[in-house]
C-alpha cells in the first residue's frame, strides 16, 4: 500500500506529511487510516472550535461536520498542502459561518452570566484554597471575554498561533491571506489582548 501511495503522490508531494499519506489511503478505501486521522486530530479541532465559538456543544457539532466533510471529500483529495492546513481551513470556515449565522448568540450572554462549563483544572495543591479557585475563575473568565471580543479573523489567528502552535505560513494558508497579513492580524490581536488583560500582568 505504501508503495502505491508514494507512486500516486509523486515527487512533488514527497515532502508532505504522514497525515497526507493516510488521507490518500482513505481515498483508496482504507477506513483504518481515517480512524487514525480522527484519533490524532479530533481534540485539536474540537478545542480550536470550542475557543472560536465558546460553546462546547456547538464546537462538537461543527467538528462532526469537519470530519464528515473530510470523509466525503476523500475521493477528490489531492495533497497539495499539509493535511492540517486543509483540516483547519475547513474548521475555520465552519466556525466563521457559525458565528456569522448567530448559531451561538447565547455565548455572549453565557459569558456575561457565569462559567458553568469551566473546565476543572488540576491545581498543584490537591486542595486549592477558596482564594485560588476564585482567582482562577476570574482569570479564566477574563481571558475568554478578551478573546471573544476580538474580531473573528484575529481570533482565529491567535488561537492557531497560541494553542495550535502553527507557523505564520500555515496560518496564512488556512486564512487564505499573506504571511505579512497574518503578522499584522496577530500584532493587532495581541495589542488588544494586552490592553484588556494588562491588569493581570
Question: Which residues of the chain form contacts with another protein (CB under 8 A)?
Answer: 28-29, 38, 42-43, 46-47, 50-51, 56, 60, 63-64, 67-69, 71-73, 75-77, 86, 89-90, 93, 117, 119, 121, 136, 139-140, 143-144, 147, 161-163, 183-184, 186-187, 190, 193-194, 197-198, 200-201
Please say which residue, 140 or 153, places its beta carbon nearer to another protein: 140
- Least separation in angstroms between residue 11's CB and another protein is 20
Q: Which three cell numbers stand for residue 41?
A: 486530530
- Least separation in angstroms between residue 22's CB and another protein is 16
Q: Using alpha carbons, list the distances in angstroms from residue 128 to 8, 115, 118.
A: 56, 18, 16
Question: How crowded is residue 23: how many other Cβ atoms within 10 Å of its Cβ?
Answer: 26
- Least separation in angstroms between residue 19's CB and another protein is 15
Q: Which residues of 27-62 are buried (b: 16+ CB within 10 A; e: fewer)?
A: beebeebbebbeeebeebbbbbbbbbbbbeebbebb
- Least separation in angstroms between residue 14's CB and another protein is 20
Please say which residue, 103 or 144, places its beta carbon nearer to another protein: 144
**SS3 label, residue 77:** coil
Amino acid at each position: 500500500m505504501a508503495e502505491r501511495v508514494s507512486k500516486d503522490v509523486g515527487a512533488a508531494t514527497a515532502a508532505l506529511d504522514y497525515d497526507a499519506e493516510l488521507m490518500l489511503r482513505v481515498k483508496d478505501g482504507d477506513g483504518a487510516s481515517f480512524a487514525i486521522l480522527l484519533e490524532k486530530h479530533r481534540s485539536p479541532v474540537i478545542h480550536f472550535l470550542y475557543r472560536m465559538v465558546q460553546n462546547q456543544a456547538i464546537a462538537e457539532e461543527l467538528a462532526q461536520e469537519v470530519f464528515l466533510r473530510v470523509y466525503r471529500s476523500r475521493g477528490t483529495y489531492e495533497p497539495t498542502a499539509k493535511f492540517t492546513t486543509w483540516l483547519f481551513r475547513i474548521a475555520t470556515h465552519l466556525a466563521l459561518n457559525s458565528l456569522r449565522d448567530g448559531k451561538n448568540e447565547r455565548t455572549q450572554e453565557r459569558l456575561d452570566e457565569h462559567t458553568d462549563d469551566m473546565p476543572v483544572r488540576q491545581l498543584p495543591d490537591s486542595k486549592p484554597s477558596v482564594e485560588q479557585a476564585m482567582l482562577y475563575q476570574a482569570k479564566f473568565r477574563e481571558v475568554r471575554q478578551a478573546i471573544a471580543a476580538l474580531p473573528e479573523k484575529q481570533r482565529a489567528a491567535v488561537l492557531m498561533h497560541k494553542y495550535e502552535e502553527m507557523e505564520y505560513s500555515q496560518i496564512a494558508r488556512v486564512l487564505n491571506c499573506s504571511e505579512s497579513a497574518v503578522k499584522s492580524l496577530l500584532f493587532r490581536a495581541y495589542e488588544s489582548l494586552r490592553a484588556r488583560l494588562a491588569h493581570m500582568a
